[in-house]
């Protein structure tokens, strides 16, 4: 909570025209404050809180202002335009607190002092010197010292200037009403409060609105960023799906290539085995150490003879010549097998006939076979 208290100034004037004094700036006891609804609130400031060293130290160096401008800080001090400074820490004087002050330019008719300070309120009611109170002020921290027309301390809070001041300057303005302002709250009700309270409320409202605007902008930026990230994520997922499809196609192509390669190897192996078989048939030595082309050349030479000159022949010619030799070999082998079968059969028949024929009959049969031998060759 922020509170304002008033006491008397008894001042003297320096050669430079400055006002110096060691006035009472606060006191112990019960202080009266007006609530926003107009009711009076009594707050008790106990001696142990009023004279606490940590509290008294906070008044030193604080600005002296005309009226209460609200909370004074480095951000608004130039607008506040202080008219003086508190020179020392507070010190106990009976039930009062005093401090040395200097006022450079007193441009107001008000001659009372009022402290502006922050305080923690202990909402524990009680009675002090027979007077009830609603709460206790604790942890008092001073912010500024204001010159005001009328203070809370009553007749003791007077500024008594020295004899060099004019009657107009020393007029007390005891009956001058405190300047009030209307404060509209969220419930729509207007409350009449001191002008300094309204100014502080307006300042706090502006700060709150500024913070709300900043938060709104940050939230909007966050939403936009989330949307942008979502688009990027969708694009990445689409790219990933596309890569999956490409991988599937590549796998199919690789599988087909593997099968084609395997078939090619099988074909080469079968071709090599066939070449070695033909070479073996023609008794080509060390064929397993030759290339396919050398095997074909060797087989052709075996079939055609060494006179066959294949030096300048193309691969196509050599392949065709080899195939012809291979087919010729197969054909000759087939005819040889047939002749073997026939000869075996005739030999068997002849052997059977020879057992039954006489020597002369066998000689006649041989002559007949020799006579008809050419016919067997032409079949």
Which pair of tokens denotes residue 123? 């909402």
**Which phi-psi region, left, alpha or beta, contains residue 377 (left: φ > 0; alpha: ψ -120 to 50)?**
alpha
In sequence order, what are the beta bridge partners of 126?
A: 133
Say if CB 114 and CB 40 are below 8 A apart.
Answer: no
Provide the angle, in degrees to the nearest 10, between the axes of the packed helices 359-371 and 315-356.
150
Q: Which helix (H) or strand (E) holds 131?
A: strand 131-133
3 state DSSP class of 345: helix
Among 98, 90, 93, which residue's Cα sits nearest to residue 57? 90
pTM listed for this prediction:
0.43
pLDDT in tens, the chain (379 residues): 666 665 555 677 888 888 888 888 889 999 888 777 778 889 999 999 999 999 999 999 999 998 888 889 999 999 999 999 999 999 999 999 999 999 998 754 556 788 889 999 899 999 999 999 999 999 999 999 988 876 554 444 344 433 333 323 333 333 344 556 666 666 556 666 667 677 777 778 788 888 888 898 899 899 999 999 999 999 999 999 999 999 999 998 988 988 888 888 888 888 889 888 888 888 888 888 889 888 888 888 888 776 667 777 888 888 888 888 877 666 555 555 555 555 555 555 555 555 566 667 776 777 776 666 655 544 5
């Amino acid at each position: 909570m922020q509170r304002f208290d008033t006491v008397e100034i008894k001042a003297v004037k320096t050669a430079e025209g400055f006002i110096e004094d060691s006035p009472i700036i606060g006191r112990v006891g019960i202080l009266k404050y007006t609530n926003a609804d107009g009711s009076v609130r009594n707050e008790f400031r106990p001696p142990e809180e009023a004279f606490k060293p940590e509290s008294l130290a906070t008044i030193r160096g604080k600005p002296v202002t005309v009226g209460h401008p609200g909370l004074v800080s480095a951000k608004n001090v130039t607008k506040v335009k202080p008219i003086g400074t508190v020179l020392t820490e507070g010190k106990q004087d009976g039930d009062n607190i005093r401090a040395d002050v200097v006022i450079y330019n007193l441009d107001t008719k008000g001659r009372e002092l009022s402290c502006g300070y922050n305080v923690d309120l202990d909402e524990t009611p009680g009675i002090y010197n027979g007077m009830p109170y609603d709460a206790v002020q604790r942890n008092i921290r001073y912010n500024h010292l204001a010159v005001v027309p009328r203070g809370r301390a009553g007749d003791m809070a007077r500024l008594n200037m020295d004899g060099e001041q004019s009657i107009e300057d020393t007029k007390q303005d005891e009956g001058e009403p405190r300047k009030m302002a209307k404060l509209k709250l969220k419930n729509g009700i207007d409350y009449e409060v001191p002008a300094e309270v309204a100014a502080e409320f307006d300042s706090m409202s502006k700060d709150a609105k500024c913070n709300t605007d900043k938060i709104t902008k940050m939230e909007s930026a966050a939403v936009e960023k989330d949307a942008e990230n979502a688009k990027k994520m969708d694009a990445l997922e689409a790219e990933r799906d596309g890569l999956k499809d490409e991988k599937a196609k590549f796998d199919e192509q690789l599988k087909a290539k593997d099968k084609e390669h395997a078939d090619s190897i099988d074909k080469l192996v079968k071709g090599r085995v066939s070449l070695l078989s033909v070479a073996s048939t023609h008794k080509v030595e060390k064929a397993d150490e030759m290339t396919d082309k050398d095997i074909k050349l060797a087989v052709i030479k075996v079939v055609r003879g060494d006179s066959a000159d294949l030096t300048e022949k193309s691969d196509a010619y050599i392949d065709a010549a080899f195939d012809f030799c291979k087919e010729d070999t197969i054909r000759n082998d087939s005819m040889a097998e047939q002749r073997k079968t026939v000869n075996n059969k005739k030999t068997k028949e002849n052997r059977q006939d020879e057992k039954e024929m006489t020597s002369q009959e066998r000689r006649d049969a041989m002559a007949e076979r020799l006579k008809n031998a050419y016919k067997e060759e032409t079949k």
